[in-house]
Amino acid sequence: MNNIAERMPRLGKTLASIDHLTFRYPDSPNPAVRDVNLEVGEGEVVLLAGPSGCGKSTLLRCINGLIPHMFPGDYQGSVSVGGLKVAETPMSTLAQNVGLLFQNPENQIFMFSVERDIAFGLQNLSVPRQEMRTRVDETMRLLGITALAQRAPHELSDGQKQRAALAGVIAMRPKLIILDEPTSLLDPKTALEVVSLIEKLNRELGITFIVVEHRLELLIPIAHRLVVMDGGAKVMDGPPQDVLADERVEGYGVSVPPIFKLYNALSKDGARMRKAPQTPEEMAEELNAR
């Protein structure tokens, strides 16, 4: 899977825009997010990384509207998605523009069967039954879980639960989907399957993704951008290879994959390499050629 940034020409118009956002929870002395500016273009896959407590989770909730609607606090600056100002738009409208998939799929599946759970969001939006049926079937087909329609959540494997939870979000047809550490509870092979699913959705349906992850090596092949946060502020932002090839990144508590660490170490010693390698095999190829 070569890096998508090389294959596709860059983004369309801006889909989400975060403008000088600062947010402080009511019972906290310090802001969780400090003067963050970020623009996400249509069709992009943005990887968001940073140490624990850097404000990633807070930022996600500011984008999908949980902040300030469910979690009020000291809110300055603005966030808009699809032309809508998040702080001024009700959750029912926001839910159709931004979807948020939390870390643990177990706690996002409410109903006793997969297909009814997928319909959950549509029910809340008063979608008529016929259309609901179509959307649910389509979504299940898209994620390859049609066979699981009648299953109960406790009968599903971790990977299947992940897909079922994602289906529940996708059924609402948001243009932007945020994933909060989608692979942390999965084994590496299942994680790779989830990543190719994200890539497929991005490529075929043009859905924009913001993914928070510690396990960067899984997401780098499909990400257009890597944004690093630390202490509530955005500290780095650019194509993944550029950011990881910048030696500052290691100081921010980001799990840099060994190949990139090696590339940085070699570059520091003066070894000239054509460009930062995506995979160990690429690096081996280049070294063999010398």
Q: Which region, left, alpha or beta, applies to residue 12 given φ > 0 means left and ψ of -120 to 50 means alpha? A: beta
Could you say whether residue 32 binds another protein (CB under 8 A)? no
CB of 12 to another protein, least distance (A): 25
Residue 231 main-chain phi, psi, to 5 deg? 60, 35
Residue closer to another protein by CB (options 11, 246) is 246
Please identify, using beta-carbon distances, which residue of 35 and 181 lies nearer to another protein. 181
From 230, 261, 231, 225, select the one nearest 245 (Cα to Cα).
261
Residue in 4, 185, 233, 235 binding another protein, rule: CB under 8 A = 185
Positions 82 through 111 that interact with another protein (CB under 8 A): 90-92, 95-96, 99-100, 102, 104, 106-111
Residue 190 lies near another protein (rule: CB under 8 A): yes
Do residues 219 and 213 lie in contact, with contact meaning Cβ atoms separated by under 8 Å? yes
1 touches another protein by CB under 8 A: no
3-state secondary structure of 98: strand
Residue 73, both tokens = 């606090």
Per the DSSP assignment, residues forming a β-bridge with 84 are: 81
Q: Which of 26, 29, 30, 52 binds another protein (CB under 8 A)?
A: 52
Q: Is 25 in the site for another protein (CB under 8 A)?
A: no
With CB under 8 A as the contact rule, the residue among 1, 8, 70, 205 that binds another protein is 70
Pairing of strands 176-180, 208-212: parallel
Q: What's the Cα-to-Cα distance from 169 to each of 100, 188, 271, rounded to whole Å?
A: 7, 23, 47
The distance of closest approach from Cβ of residue 247 to another protein in the complex, given in angstroms and rounded to an integer, is 13
Q: Which residues contact 255 (CB under 8 A, 6 or more apart)?
A: 49, 214, 215, 216
Nearer to another protein, 18 or 186 (CB): 186
Q: Least distance to another protein from the beta carbon of 123, Å?
A: 4
Give the number of residues in contact with another protein, rule: CB under 8 A: 85
- Over the window 247 to 276, marking each residue x when it contacts another protein by CB under 8 A and - when it does not, the resulting string is ---x--xxxxxxx-xx--xx--x-x-----
Q: Which of 7, 13, 154, 274 binds another protein (CB under 8 A)?
A: 154
Contact with another protein (CB under 8 A) among 19, 187, 247, 275: 187
Other Cβ atoms closer than 10 A to 158: 14
**Distance in Å, CB of 8 to another protein, minimum:** 25
d(CA 169, CA 161): 13
12 or 286: CB nearest another protein: 286
Site for another protein in 112-151 (CB under 8 A): 112-113, 115-116, 119-129, 132-133, 136, 150
Query: Could you give the CA distance from residue 287 to residue 80 in angstroms, rounded to a whole number?
Result: 46
Q: Helix H segments across the chain?
A: 4-7, 56-64, 66-69, 91-94, 114-124, 129-143, 158-170, 188-205, 216-219, 240-244, 258-268, 280-288
Which region, judged by CB under 8 A, interacts with another protein, from 26-34, 63-71, 202-210, 220-228?
63-71
- Nearer CB in complex with another protein: 74/187: 187
Which of 4, 91 has the CB closer to another protein?
Answer: 91
Contact 17, 48 (CB under 8 A): no
